[in-house]
Amino acid sequence: MVENLNSKNTWDYHCPPNEPSGFNDFDYRIIWGNQGTIKIQRPFLRKIKYYLRCWNSKDGWVERENEQVVNPPTSLKHTFYQVTLLKDFARNTTNEYWGRRYIMEGKIEIYYGETPGETIDVVVTTVSGCLPRYDPHYKETYSGCIPVDIPCEEN
């Protein structure tokens, strides 16, 4: 069975006083499926592992990962919930990041089959851009937080 396992990779901007925590920062967000819910069917489905790997020209690479285990393994369709990862950055220093280039990579691995013949399916979704207002991967989280509209830095 073929599912759409490409991730949706976005970034958002939080600005006080619109952000409840009062932070002035950005988030990388990577979400799979329908708002973090995916259904997968494989013979002897055992687990999924999913990864956020992001880079910007100021901080370099950051990574996060998580896994969800199917116990006991199943060959029936299984629903995974909250298949999403987030990494905040630039807390109270957003002015140093406007116009910077970034790369966001979402990767999911599906582990299935009986040991010792385990199989792993891998799907990677990568996007890139820079942090001005009209970047196609910007997602407005709070109305009133308007990203700065400046040119991207040179490569």
Instruction: Find the CATH number of the domain harbouring 40.
Output: 2.60.40
**Neighbour-count burial for 39-53, b at 16+ CB within 10 Å, e otherwise:** ebebebbbebbbbbb
What's residue 19's pLDDT?
57
Quick one: pLDDT at residue 33? 94
pLDDT, residue 149, reads 86
Query: What was the pLDDT predicted at 103?
Result: 97
Residue 57 in domain = yes
96: in domain: yes
pLDDT score of 21: 63
pLDDT given at position 142: 74
In a domain, 119, yes or no: yes
Which pLDDT belongs to residue 143? Answer: 76
> For residues 30 and 106, is the Cβ–Cβ distance under 8 A?
yes
Residue-number span of the structural domain to which 64 is assigned: 7-130
Residues of the chain with pLDDT under 70: 1-2, 17-22
First to last CA, the chain: 41
What is the model's pTM?
0.89
Beta-sheet strand order (sheet of 84-89): 7-14, 25-32, 84-89
Whether residue 113 is contained in a domain is answered as yes
pLDDT digits (tens, 9 = 90+) for 118-134: 899 999 999 999 998 88
Contact 102, 30 (CB under 8 A): no
Enclosing H/E stretch for 53: strand 45-56
Whether residue 103 lies inside any domain: the answer is yes
**In this predicted structure, what is the pLDDT of residue 92?**
86
Count of structural domains within the chain: 1
Neighbours of 153 (CB within 10 A): 13
- In angstroms, the CA 63 to CA 48 distance is 17
